[in-house]
Amino acid sequence: MSTPDSDTRRVTKGRVTVWAVLCLIPVIAAFVLQWLPIFNGPHLFLGLPTILWWTCVPGSLLVTGILLIIEKTRPDLERQGHLDDLALEEAERLESAKVGDRPEVQAHPDNAREG
Amino acid sequence: MSTIEIVTLGGIVLVAILGFIGRKKPNADLSEWTVGGRRFGVATTWLLQAGETFTTFTFLGTAGLVVSGGAAAFYSMPYVPLGYLVLYFIGPKIWRMAKARGHLTQADFLEHSYSSRTLGVIAGICGVIFLLPYLQLQITGLGLIVQLVTGNRTTGVWSMVIAFILVVAFVLWSGLRGVATTAYFKDALMLVMLFVVCISIPIHFTGGFTNVFDTVAATMPDLLSVHGTEEYGIPWYISNMAISAIGVAFVTLPHMWPPILAARSSAVLRQNYLWLPIYNTFIVLPLIVGYVAVVILGRNTDADSALLHLSGQMFPDWVIGVLAVAGITTAMVPSAALLIGISTLASRNVFRIRSERHQFTATQIIVVVATALSLLLAIVMPDLLANLLLLTFSGLDQLAPAIAAALFFRGRLSVRSIIAGLAAGLIVVISYTFWLPLPWAISEGIIGLGVNILVVAVCEAVRAGVGRSQAETSTESIGQRA
């Protein structure tokens, strides 16, 4: 059985770059469209204010579309499940080892494991 | 009692009953009470997270913002999806860290990430101070809704008192599980009423959506675009959208942590973030009603009452009552989540009660005290809704660099730098909110965040410089000794 550290189906840098570019599209759209009179002017588009269409589309539909693409092309979904299982194991270990009433402040190994 | 009052009172009691149904016996465990035993599935987590989008602001502030600022009100549409774009990636990571270490609050996460109790206390205090106005906003909104539909201020005040006594009761009994059961009712009723009201109002008063916007385009074209640099201008729009998106992305509102931590797995969160942006598009409905209000009632109408005022002119009393109940649920349900957030932060991170049993008792007492305080403020000092919401976001957004650095820099930043940045950001936000004029009406939160990040960067640079000079000095002294 593979472990998160030995799992070869990790996300490559190239894939991360593609995801970052995709994610930047709605962000840039949301912050730039207001400066362009064609999208932000005193006129209507299909009966509604133009800016309403262009804030609605990048803001909602585009974000869902992009996240769906990312979710469907992720090679590391199995690894995400592994990380969840490890978090669960660690929680159980902490619970059984708990002497006081609440956990003390400690370094978090989960961060290192996610690398 | 009138029909509206009977329906409204019935609705308040029904919400409370649903809240009690959340648990068969009273809660006695803080983890179970705060995060529902971390066993919630997609539907429940969805509704708890969507609760952030649809609050009293949806019924009052959103349409009101159109009346005040025209198209600038559209800033309320894209910020939530933009936030989810980031949360899709960091939400699962936050969930795993919290699960592994037993975090119940945002301050637990920060305290553990930086190994600093001081930061935990500061985050806890910030959370409590900045969430109280948000709680007050919900209470004021509830009173305003009842007052508007009944036309009686006394009824509004009494409804606030009755509703919040019941909220306290079901929150004490069932915790987050109660919030979850009421959230199902709240979202179902709210969506039905939003569709009924927001589609029939334009048809009744102007003959349809198109006529509304044709009239606006012909008589008040400035309301169709965001322009200028004054209040509600482009800088205002962009900065408020940015500060609100940052707030959602880095979960700077502490009461939004329990819904994330309560998920059964990280996959549940990922599934929700895929589709929640679509759900957010329903916010367009009250925005359209805002334009109808401008056309029918004029630009000098009372902004916050626009939606209910128009409904009062066309619907029978029982429909107005149901609409009021829908509005009331958007106040009661988020308030219950806020109470859980505030009280857990106070008992665990501010007062730092060690024993779990005593911690739970203190949490319950704080629920009562926080509600009483907010209720008093809501009755004595009610304020304009939208501005209060922006103040809450601006203040709590100063925690964003600390949360982001904990996730992305893995504790490499010094806690002193983080605290210095947070303090500087908060001073700037408070100064601009109460004393200083804002340049181009930019959100005070963005200015504060800029100063916050700058201070963190300078502190880190100084720390790196001091570390380097100390290393050189020790190397020289070793060389001299050799």
The ipTM is: 0.88
Q: State mean pLDDT over B26-52.
A: 86
How high does pLDDT run on average in chain B? 89
pLDDT of residue B89: 94
pLDDT exceeds cutoff 70 at A69: yes
Residue B96 clears pLDDT 60, i.e. is over it: yes
B277 and A86 within 8 Å at the Cβ level: the answer is: no
% of chain B surpassing 90 pLDDT: 56
* Stated pTM of the model: 0.89
Question: B40 pairs with which residues across the strands?
Answer: B263
Q: Do A44 and B217 touch (CB under 8 A)?
A: yes
CATH code of the domain containing B41: 1.20.1730.10
Given pLDDT bands bounded at 50, 70 and 90, which one contains residue B383?
A: low
Flag whether residue B218 sits within 8 Å of chain A, measured between CB atoms: no
B305-320 residue pLDDT tens: 888 888 888 999 999 9
Residue A104 forms contact with B (CB below 8 Å)? no
Closest chain B CA to residue A91: B100
Predicted confidence at residue B385, as pLDDT, reads: 44
CB of B309 within 8 Å of any CB in chain A?
no
Does the pLDDT at position B60 exceed 80? no
pLDDT value at B399 more than 70 = yes
Q: What is the mean pLDDT of residues B399-414?
A: 90
pLDDT at A9: 63
Distance (Å) from the alpha carbon of B88 to chain A's nearest alpha carbon: 8
Do B450 and B366 belong together in one domain? Answer: no
Query: Are B129 and B165 in the same domain?
Result: yes
Q: B424 and B317: one domain?
A: no
Structural domain total, chain A? 1
Q: What is the pLDDT of residue A1?
A: 42
B454 and B359: one domain?
no
Residues 103-132 (B) with a CB less than 8 A from some CB of A: 111-113, 115-117, 120
Within this chain, do residues B400 and B437 fall inside the same structural domain, yes or no? Answer: no
The mean pLDDT of B407-425, rounded to a whole number, is 91
How confident is the model over B207-215, as a mean pLDDT?
A: 88
Residue B431 lies in domain: 413-482
B250 and B392 both lie in a single domain = yes
Task: Pull the structure tokens for residue A94.
Answer: 């902490």
In a domain, A85, yes or no: yes
Q: Is the predicted pLDDT of residue A114 greater than 50, yes or no? A: no
- Is the pLDDT reported for residue B290 higher than 80? yes
| A75/B contact by beta carbon, under 8 A | no
Inter-chain CB proximity B101 and A108 less than 8 Å: yes
Under an 8 A CB cutoff, do B81 and A34 touch? no
Instruction: Tell me what the mean pLDDT of segment B258-263 comes to.
Output: 94
Q: What percentage of chain A reaches a pLDDT higher than 90?
A: 37
Determine the structural domain holding residue A49 and report its residue range.
Answer: 13-114
User: Looking at residue B378, what is its pLDDT?
Assistant: 80
Q: How far is B80 from chain A (nearest CA, A)?
A: 8
Residue A4: inside a domain, yes or no? no
Q: What is the pLDDT averaged over residues A48-58?
A: 86
**Domain count across chain B:** 2
State whether B77 and B181 are in the same domain: yes
**Residue B398 scores a pLDDT above 80:** yes
Q: Give the tens place of pLDDT for each residue, B150-169.
A: 888 888 888 899 999 999 99
CA distance A48 to chain B (A): 6
pLDDT band at B63 (very low <50, low <70, confident <90, very high): confident
